[in-house]
Amino acid sequence: MRKYNKNIYGLMLAGAVLMGMSSCGDDFFDQKPADSVPAETAIQSSSDLASARAGMYAVFKGNSKMVDYYGQQMFLYGELHGEDLVYNSTYGSNRANFYYQMSYTTASDFDRSEAIWQSPYAVIGRACRIIEAADGGKLSDKTEAADEIAQYRAEALVLRAMATFDLTRIYGKTYTEDNGASLGVPLVTSSLQSNVKPARSTVAECYAQVIKDLTEAISSGKLPSETTSGYVSLYAAKALLARVYLTKGDWANALSTAEDVINNSGKSLWTISEYVNAWKKDDASHNKEMLFEIPVTNTNDWNDREGIAYLYAENRPDVPGYGEAVANKNFLALLAQDPNDVRADVFLAPSNDSKNVFHGAKVYLNKMPAYNGDVRYASVPILRLTEVYLIASEAAFKDGNTAKAVQYLNDLLKNRTSDASRLVTASTITAARISLERRKELVGEGQRFFDAIRNNETITRYTNESDRGWSAVLPADVRSYNRDYFKALAAIPSYEIDANKNIKQNDGYGQ
C-alpha cells in the first residue's frame, strides 16, 4: 500500500511536489515547481509565480503515480458509480472495478489512489500560494509584470474553486437536498501551518467560497477570453460557474451564466458531420466546442497507462489500452432508439471479442482517441460548450421558461440527429428528457453520477439476470440505489481522519 501524507497540510505541499515536472503543453510548464523549495524563498518574481502556476496545473492533471483527480479517478467516480458505463469484467484489468462494485464499507478501503483527496487539496494548496504571492505585493517585478501576475492569480482562483466544488460533490450531500446545511469538506483558502486541523465546513459554506472565487476571477478582467488548450480561460470559468449554479439549484443564475457563454464565447456546437472526428485533438473542428481540456504533448507530460484515455480504450494490438469500461447494454438500447443519432458512433465495436461477449455491439467509448497511434497522447475533455447548452435548457425549464428550454435543447439536437421528430416542443419537453440528453451527450465525461444525485434519480445498473447483459455481477445493494444510500457519499480516507480528529466521518463507514 502506498504511503500517504497524513493531513491536508502535507497533501497540499508535499503531495504537490510529487508531481515533478509534468507539463500542460507550454515550455514554461517544464520549469521547476516553485513550491519545491522553502515557502519563504519560493515565489519572489513573476517567473517564480509562473513555475508555481505550472505546478498547479500539473497536480490538476496528475501523473502515472497520482491519478486521484482528473488524471483518472474523477472520471471513474462519476461514471462507474452510474449506470451507463460498466466495468469490463471480461477483458479489463481491474482498475475501474473499485467504484463499480461499491463494495467498500470502511474508510480504510479508501486508503489508496481511489480516494479523490490528495490531488484536489494539492491543487488548492498551490492555488493558495499563488494568490498569496500575488496579493503580497513583494514580487520583485510586481509593476512591470502586473498583468501576468493578475492573470495567474485569476487562474488560481478558478482551479481552487473547481477543486473545492469537486471535493464537496464527492463528500457532501448535494446542495438541494438540504440547502447546503450538511457537512461538506474542510474549506482551505490560505496556506496552512502544519499544526492546523481544519474541520469540515458546511456544503453551503463551500459553495459560497466556490462562487466567490469564480466571480472574483471572472470580474477581474484578467482571464483570457481566448481558449488555450490546457489552461482555464474566461469562458471556461463561466461554464464552470454555470455548472455550480445548476448543481446548487440557482436556476436563474445558471441560465444567465450559460447564455453568456453561448452568446459571447465564440464557440459553436459540433455539427452532425463533425461530431465523431472532432474528438481528435488535431481535427479542424476540435476546438469549436472545447472550453477546457487537458492536453498531452510528450512522454514527460502524460499519465502513461494510468490515464483515463488508456483505461477507456480497448486493448488492441495496434493501439493498446486497458478496456476497463464499456457501455452498458441498456444504455446502448437508449442510443438505438434514434438510429440517426450520431452520438452512437463515438462508440466502437471490439476488434477482438474472443470470448464472444459483446456480439458486435459498439461498447468502447472513443472520446479520447489515439494520436499518432498512441492513446496516451489523447486530450482529456473537462468543459465543453455542449454541456453549457444542456445547463441552459435545464435551468430554463426548472425556472419556468419553457420556450428557452426548448430552444437550447433543440439547438443541440439539431446537431446530433437528422430525425426532426426527435426535437422537443413546449408540450413534450420534460426534465426526464433533458436528463436523458445529458446522459447521451456527456457519457464518459464524469457527470452521470453527480447528475443523478442532484436530480434525486435512482441509478439502476440492472435489476435481475435477464437485464444484466454483460455487466459484471454486482452486490444486490448497489444494483439499484439513490442518494439516500450511504455509499452515495464517499468515505473520507482514514489517513486523514486519523491525522485530524476535527474531521467527522460520513455516516455508514467504519474505520
Residue 14 pLDDT: 42
Statement: residue 19 has pLDDT above 70? no
Range 73-88 burial, b when 16+ CB lie within 10 A, else e: bbbbbbbbbbbbbbbb
Residue 1 pLDDT: 35
Residues 6 or more apart in contact with residue 54 via CB below 8 angstroms: 23, 24, 28, 29, 30, 31, 33
Is 457 within 8 Å of 435 (Cβ atoms)?
yes
Distance CA 254, CA 408 (A): 13
Q: Which pairs count as long-range contacts for 353-356, CB under 8 Å and 24+ apart, including other chains?
A: 355/90, 355/91
Residue 488 pLDDT: 97
Residue closest to 239 by CA, chosen among 488, 22, 379, 447: 447
Residue closest to 364 by CA, chosen among 330, 322, 415: 322
At 23, phi and psi to the nearest 5?
-125, 165
| Tens of pLDDT, residues 351-395 | 999 999 999 999 999 999 999 999 999 999 999 999 999 999 999
The bridge status of strand 459-460 relative to strand 480-481 is antiparallel
Residue closest to 461 by CA, chosen among 446, 444, 474: 474
Residue closest to 248 by CA, chosen among 385, 124, 78, 395: 395
pTM above 0.75, yes or no: yes
| Tens of pLDDT, residues 288-311 | 999 999 999 999 889 999 999 999
DSSP code per residue over 203-265 = HHHHHHHHHHHHHHHHHTT-S-SS--TTS--HHHHHHHHHHHHHHHT-HHHHHHHHHHHHHHS
Interior angle at CA 384, CA 452 and CA 100, nearest 5? 35
Statement: residue 13 has pLDDT above 50? no
Arithmetic mean of pLDDT, 132-143: 97
Range 450-460 burial, b when 16+ CB lie within 10 A, else e: bbbbbbebebb
Measured CA distances, 139 to 49, 155, 470 (Å): 9, 18, 58
Distance CA 169, CA 119 (A): 15
Is 148 within 8 Å of 46 (Cβ atoms)?
yes
| Tens of pLDDT, residues 422-469 | 999 999 999 999 999 999 999 999 999 999 999 999 999 999 999 999
Residue closest to 412 by CA, chosen among 401, 400, 423: 423
Is 130 within 8 Å of 49 (Cβ atoms)?
yes
Q: Enter the DSSP assignment of 388.
A: H
Is 214 within 8 Å of 161 (Cβ atoms)?
yes
Distance CA 324, CA 320 (A): 12
Reported as a pLDDT band with limits 50, 70 and 90, residue 480 is very high
CA 170 from centre of chain? 11
Is 247 within 8 Å of 174 (Cβ atoms)?
yes
Cell of 53: 502556476
Distance CA 35, CA 129 (A): 8
Burial of 197 (0-12, 13-18, 19+ CB in 10 A): middle
CA 362 from centre of chain? 24
Statement: residue 145 has pLDDT above 70? yes
Distance CA 26, CA 16 (A): 19
